[in-house]
A and B are shown apart, each in its own frame.
Chain A
Amino acid sequence: MKFDGIHPDKGDKDAAHAAKVTEEVLKAVGVPLILWSCGNDEKDKQVMPKVSGAAKGENCLIGTITEDNYKSLTAIALADNHHLISEAPIDINIAKQVNILASDMSFPLERIVTFQSTGALGYGIEYAYSIQERQRLAALTGDKMMAMPAICDVGYESWRAKEAKLTDAPGWGDAADRGPMWEAATAICLLQAGVDIIRMRHPRAVKTVKNFINQVW
């Protein structure tokens, strides 16, 4: 669940609304949720503690914490027994630092998932790939501060690409196929770099990626 609607420019919904939606979704599904803040620090500080509280004890993955904004959400996630997403802007050094900062607040490393803002196919995926690969190699050589699972926001990033969504482009093939293929290609590429969790959008892309996973792993 991405709380885009709480962003001041995208609806400016309040904390009570966000908490209520969280409760309703929790009632409706049998799996833990991933709860993403909107990226506006001020608004996230108001809303995310309420969202966390609404899902207390539900073993959710909540985020994101950044180098400049980690204290309150880390403390809340610790208190409400959630896992945490630490975010860095395609920057391995900052990623490590955010993990250290959370760890300094006694947040267990095994409950952190890292997130490098994801690049889609054609839009910087090579940077995302090499950084995920480097993180994994560091983990394999014993760097405890880099040894956590990584999440990527593949659905959101892929569908921002005009190649995925432009319908009026006859030379590019059928848009109905092109979009899911764009998303699946992005996901599969990042999986091969060592990413563990992918947030996806289109059911056909999901099917293709699942099929790939079943064949390879």
Chain B
Amino acid sequence: MILIGERINGMFKNVKEAITQKDKKVIQELAKQQTEAGASYLDVNVGTAAADQEGTIQWLVETIQETCSTPLSLDSQKPNVIAAGLKVINAENGVILNSTPLNKKSDEEILDKYIEMANQAGPKASIITLTMDKNGVPQDIDTRVAIAAEIVSKAMEKGFATQRLLIDPIILPVRVPNAQVQPGNILSAMDQIRLLAEPAPIMTIGLSNLSQGTTERSFINRIFLAMGISRGLDSAIVDVLDKDLMNVVATAEMLMNKQIYSDSFLKVYSGTN
């Protein structure tokens, strides 16, 4: 499974402080820990830590790559921030451009821009696309699938291989009123989105959003991740430092016959890319 480590994000207090104080050690340590924990990619998100998003993502990328060769997931909804990160990145082992909706009111062509940037970044560059458009985040299954179909056809039209296309059906916090139907909708949408192309696009989720504001965050995350894996989820942005969560991934993948059982199967599990 493709596991994208979420910890290098300006929304976390220690990362925010490190960005403010230009403290490389904190960032490099997080890169190392997440790599050792089995991350396939490291997400890099400036968050609200700095006004200069472009300069900060470049500093983060350079800081990480001084000591770590794990591929990165550049996390921004702004094409200019992604472009800034790509200028300084070594994308030899791959990079994920994370993420873009199908289109936006303010930018009808945003998906085209991400595809263009990914093509320029090299053959191992992929994109996370959200099943979301200028009308916002859909609540139902059918609209998610319809948007995904438009994303897939756009990628095909541009000659962008579907194996490089990660589709995120957007998971909403379960505690929001009337949102309890959403986790089930996500699973059903995934079943259909996978059929849109051959080879199928990669299904991914931003897991932690599901448990925002709940009292049992890690428990909710772990269980839903296992449920997703049982329905063919290929990728997730997760806290790879959560050892129990990683054990859930290893066990669920083993039970789905994606990993060969051995008595030490928990010990040797790590993500793939």
Seen from chain A, the residues whose Cβ lies within 8 Å of a Cβ on chain B are 92-94, 96-97, 100-101, 103, 134, 138, 141-146
Contacts and interface: CB of A to CB of B under 8 A. Distances in A.
B267 interface: yes
A92 B260 contact: yes
Nearest to B270: A144
B267 A96 contact: no
Contacts of A138: 259-260
A143 B264 contact: no
Nearest to B267: A100
A143 B261 contact: no
A180 B261 CA distance: 37
B218 to A, nearest CB: 26
A97 B268 CA distance: 10
Contact of B262 (A96, A142, A144): A96
A143 B260 contact: yes
B260 A100 contact: no
A104 to B, nearest CB: 8
A136 B178 CA distance: 47
Q: Which 9 A-B pairs have the closest CB atoms?
A: A96-B262, A142-B272, A97-B262, A100-B264, A93-B261, A97-B263, A96-B260, A93-B262, A138-B260
Contact of A100 (B258, B259, B262, B272): B262
B271 to A, nearest CB: 9
B102 to A, nearest CB: 30
Contacts of B260: 92-93, 96, 134, 138, 143, 145-146
A100 B268 contact: yes
Contacts of A143: 259-260
24 contacts: A92-B260, A93-B260, A93-B261, A93-B262, A93-B263, A94-B262, A96-B260, A96-B261, A96-B265, A97-B262, A97-B263, A100-B262, A100-B264, A100-B268, A101-B264, A103-B268, A134-B260, A138-B259, A143-B260, A144-B268, A145-B260, A145-B262, A145-B268, A146-B260
Interface of B: 258-265, 267-268, 272
Nearest to A99: B262
A8 to B, nearest CB: 30
A97 B261 CA distance: 9
A167 B67 CA distance: 68
Contacts of B267: 100
Contacts of A97: 262-264
Contacts of B262: 93-94, 96-97, 100, 145
Most buried by B among A92, A96, A103: A96
A117 B262 CA distance: 18
A97 B267 CA distance: 11
A94 B264 CA distance: 10
B1 to A, nearest CB: 10
Contacts of B261: 93, 96
Contacts of A146: 260
A37 to B, nearest CB: 23
Contacts of B268: 100, 103, 144-145
A147 to B, nearest CB: 11
A134 B261 CA distance: 12
Nearest to A96: B262
A95 to B, nearest CB: 8
A96 B261 CA distance: 8
A145 B260 CA distance: 9
Nearest to A97: B262
Contacts of B259: 138, 143
Contacts of A96: 260-262, 265
A187 B259 CA distance: 28
A153 to B, nearest CB: 22
